[in-house]
Amino acid sequence: MLLNRANKVLKTIYTKRNNVLINKNQTSLLLRRHLAYSSSYGNNSYSRGGMTERWPLPKTNTILNIVPQGQQFVVERMGKFHSVEQSGWFFAIPFVDAITYRIDMREKAIEIEPQPAITRDNVSLEVSGNVFIQFVDAHKAAYGSFNPLYAVSQNAQSAMRAAIGKLELDEILHARQQLNDKVAAALSEASEPWGIQIKRYEITEILPDRQIQIAMDKQAVAERERREQVLGAEGLKKAAVLESEGIKQKLQNESEGELIKVRNEALAEKEKRVLEAEGEAQAIMARAEAQAKAISLVGDALATEEGQVAAQLEMAREYVEMYGDMGQKSNTIMFQKDAGDVNALLAQAATVFNTSSIQATNFNNSNEKNDE
């Protein structure tokens, strides 16, 4: 029924375009070839993602034919291969030349429907994917396979099942790119005679058995809980380490501060004592210099006659005052036998004065020698 309907449609098209009456008992060469292709493989089509991909895609010979960019036409003359026409225009002899294949040379994707497979560890799963192809040789595409698109689709399914059978489930789930490369390599080798270049193969979905999915979900939950516990333990560990480091740093800072404080106090005490010692030394030196200067002045004064008389009088006065003080402090006073003789007192004072004068002179002389 479909064959008869296609016959009627093509007859109507050819009648309108070429204004040629087609008899029921006579068909053109192009019509006969199209019907031959259609009847030899049913509709010669296969499902691709809900769409029907037909092969071959013929084109009506309009004498002056135009090839769109990205396509190539395979022309047959009297049933034999004649030429491959590139993008542009060309002439074809009507009823003699037939454009039997219109091949799109652009890259296209073929959807591989989900298919069952068994892994090396006997796990059942379904795998679907996409294979990206490109025709590179129109002659091989036309005559290398009856339907190269269908052949690629079937070969992709076989290559996928073979590759999955060599791997375990964990390897498939975690090494998807490796599986893609194996399938693409197998397809490239098989599709070369068909004029097809395999660009890449990509797995779109992997569905394990229901029981395997439940086990994988439980395993994933357990793994997440384990990671949560590990992260929590690591967090507590880091917090404890940071706290101990903080305490350590605090104690270290306090000890360093105490050490600096003690050092500063020691330096301050040392500086204080040094300054006090220097001040004391300077005071001693000043007193010694003043005493030496006073002795020197006394010695110089005693060297004169007037100074000696004045010294004798001063000593006598002090001698008398001494006895007066002694009388005020005590009821008993010891006197020499001639204590009431003033001349004796003066003589005694003069003796003491002379002795002091000699000592002062000797002291001055020794100082002068030291200065020299």
Q: Is 341 a residue whose pLDDT tops 60? A: no
Q: Is 135 a residue whose pLDDT tops 90? A: yes
For the chain, give the mean pLDDT: 75
Q: Is 32 a residue whose pLDDT tops 50? A: no
How many angstroms separate the CA atoms of 356 and 360, rounded? 6
Q: Which one has a higher pLDDT value, 18 or 244? A: 244
Query: Confidence band (pLDDT; 50, 70, 90) for 292?
Result: confident
Label residue 261 exposed, middle or buried (CB < 10 Å: 0-12, 13-18, 19+): exposed
| 22-31, 164-173, 237-246, 307-316: segment of lowest average pLDDT | 22-31
How many angstroms separate the CA atoms of 323 and 345, rounded? 12
Share of the chain above pLDDT 70, in %: 65
How many angstroms separate the CA atoms of 224 and 230, rounded? 10
CATH number of 107-208: 3.30.479.30
Domain ranges of the chain: 1-104, 107-208, 210-294, 303-371
Q: Is 130 a residue whose pLDDT tops 90? A: yes
Share of the chain above pLDDT 90, in %: 13
How many angstroms separate the CA atoms of 131 and 156, rounded? 8
Amino acid at 216: M
- How high is the pLDDT of residue 286? 82
Yes or no: say if 351 and 308 are a contact pair by the CB < 8 Å rule.
no
Count the Cβ atoms, other than its own, within 10 Å of residue 347: 14
Q: DSSP for 141-168, please give it.
A: HHHS-SSHHHHHHHHHHHHHHHHHHTS-
Quote the tokens at residue 74.
């395979």
Task: Give residue-wise pLDDT tens across range 248-272.
Answer: 888 888 888 888 888 888 888 888 8
SS3 state of residue 77: strand
Task: Give residue-wise pLDDT tens across range 190-248.
Answer: 899 999 999 999 988 888 877 777 776 777 778 878 888 888 888 888 888 888 888 88
Q: Which one has a higher pLDDT value, 54 or 338? A: 54
How many angstroms separate the CA atoms of 211 and 294, rounded? 122
